[in-house]
Structure formats: C-alpha cells, structure tokens
Amino acid sequence: MDKKPRREASKRQTMREQRLKKQHQQRLFVILGVVIVALLVAGFLIIPPLMAKSQPVGSIVSITPVARPQANGTAAGDPNAPVLVEVYEDFQCPICDEYTKTVEAQLMSNEIASGKVHYVERQFPIIDRGAANGESHQAANASLCAANQGRFWDYHDILFANQTGENVGDFTDKRLVAFANSVGLDMNGFNACFSANRFKSTIDADINAGTIAGVSGTPSVFVDGKEVSPGLLPAYADIQKAITAALAAKGK
C-alpha cells in the first residue's frame, strides 16, 4: 500500500522538475533573444561609424582662395548697402554649385563690389533628408566653423570644388576635416568646433527662416525678402532686375 503513494509522489516530483527545467529553458531563450537583439542594434550603431572612420580620405581638389568684397562670416558686401540679397543653399546641391560659379560670381563682381548689395548665405541642408549627421548638415556645420575663423568663403569654395553628387561620400567627416586642413585653418579650433556641432542652432534658425519664407529647394534667392524665380535656377538677369526694382523703390 505504501508503494503506490510513493510512486505518485515521485511522478509528481518528476513532472515538477520537468516543468521547472522547461521554464528555465524558456527564460534562457528569452535572455538569449534579448542579447542577440542588443548585439544587432549595437552593430547597426557602432559598425557604420567605424567603417566610415576607416575609409580613406581620397583625393581632394585644392582651391586658390578668391577674396569677396567686405567678407564677414557668411556675408559679403557693405552691411549698410540699400539692398539685401539672401541665398539658401545646400553644399550637396549640384545646381547650387552651378549658381555659385556663375550667378554668384557675377553678383560679387558687380552689385556687391559696387556697394549696392549686402549678400548673405543661409544654410538649408535638405539633401541628406534632415539627418543630423548627414553630409549636408555636416558640411553646413563645417562651413560655419570655418566662418568662425573668418574663412567661410574659402571653405565654401573647397566644398563645391569637391562636390561630385548627392550622398556619395564627398562630405564624410574625415574629408570635411581634410578640407579644413587644405585651406589652412587652425585645426585645433576647427576640430573642437566641428565635433561639438557648435553652430547647430544657427543652422536650425536658417532652416526655420527658409521654411517660413517658402523655400522648397536650393538655391533659393531673395531680394529684400522677395524670392526670385522660385523653383528655378535664378538667372543673373532676373536678380539684377529685382535689385534695380528694390533700389528704385528706395529712391536709389
């Protein structure tokens, strides 16, 4: 009579042990799953930056610095000039490159040099789709660090000289630092500024101002707050016409 209860107790004990073993295995599988997910996330976060850092800088097109009239930060020309011209640009924008080398160069030689126009470049990085560490944003960040050393226009020129496409690696952090070295910036100051993203608030303010003004693409040129040729590459003649009208409105 005693053997049957003992067998049942032993069976129940075996079942409990099996159940506990199964629960333990399930917990191990859950923990293992969490560890695998964590490693995958860490891989996505850590490996790309490490790969980017390991990439070679590549060849760099050097520039010959070109002086702008009364250059000051991201501006040029007399700050008391009767007409204000603002341009919103993305350094990755191919049309901005074309604008810079043609229309902007003519404005610098004529209306800005003559004292009629105060010219200001605004940052509007959109080609990297708003990624805070994307190529457009980082190029804008680097250009303002160069401006902090009074060398915005030289850095502006080397960026466009080395632009070959959109989001193709022209403006990796390594290359942006190499550009700064190429134009002779103080590298300690530049590196500290660049790594801290010191001018993020300035970039954000330009983006906000451009958005309020209706900027939807780059380059976008405004003469005394009025956009010239929205949606198209502004022609020099169109900007000239807008400047002439602005001067006439002020009796100039």
**Is 80 found in the same domain as 40?**
no
**Is 138 found in the same domain as 25?**
no
In a domain, 61, yes or no: no
**Is 152 found in the same domain as 93?**
yes
**Is 81 found in the same domain as 47?**
no
Inter-residue contact 236 to 107 (CB < 8 Å): yes
Contacts of 179 (CB under 8 A, 6+ apart): 60, 142, 155, 158, 159, 162
Specify the pLDDT at position 46: 55
Looking up tokens 């954000």 gives 204
| Average pLDDT per 10 consecutive residues for the chain, totaling 252 residues | 57 65 65 63 50 68 96 98 98 96 97 98 92 92 98 98 95 97 98 97 97 95 94 90 96 84
Looking up tokens 């074309």 gives 98
Using one digit for the tens of pLDDT, what is the confidence trace for 142-174? 999 999 999 999 999 999 999 999 999 999 999
| b/e map 129-160, b = 16+ CB within 10 Å | eeeeebbbbbbbbbbbbbbbbebbbbbbbbbb
Inter-residue contact 77 to 118 (CB < 8 Å): yes
Sheet with strand 220-223: strands edge to edge: 75-76, 117-123, 83-89, 220-223, 226-228
In a domain, 65, yes or no: no
Inter-residue contact 99 to 106 (CB < 8 Å): no
Using one digit for the tens of pLDDT, what is the confidence trace for 77-95? 999 999 999 999 999 999 9
**Is 214 found in the same domain as 178?**
yes
In a domain, 49, yes or no: yes
Specify the pLDDT at position 2: 54
The CATH number of the domain holding residue 102 is: 3.40.30.10
Give how many domains the chain has, as a whole number: 2
In a domain, 67, yes or no: no
Specify the pLDDT at position 18: 67
**Is 139 found in the same domain as 35?**
no
In a domain, 66, yes or no: no
Helix (DSSP H) and strand (DSSP E) numbers for the chain: 9, 5
Helices 135-147 & 152-161, crossing angle to 10 degrees?
A: 150
**Is 102 found in the same domain as 202?**
yes
Using alpha carbons, list the distances in angstroms from residue 77 to 14, 39, 83, 121, 164: 90, 54, 10, 12, 29
Specify the pLDDT at position 156: 98
Structure token digits, residue 27: 């917990």
**Is 126 found in the same domain as 28?**
no
**Is 232 found in the same domain as 114?**
yes
**Is 109 found in the same domain as 13?**
no
Using alpha carbons, list the distances in angstroms from residue 88 to 29, 126, 199: 54, 11, 16
In a domain, 60, yes or no: no
CB atoms within 10 A of CB 197: 16
Specify the pLDDT at position 232: 79
In a domain, 18, yes or no: yes
In a domain, 11, yes or no: yes
Residue 189: which domain range?
Answer: 75-249
**Is 79 found in the same domain as 163?**
yes
d(CA 176, CA 155): 9
**Is 156 found in the same domain as 80?**
yes
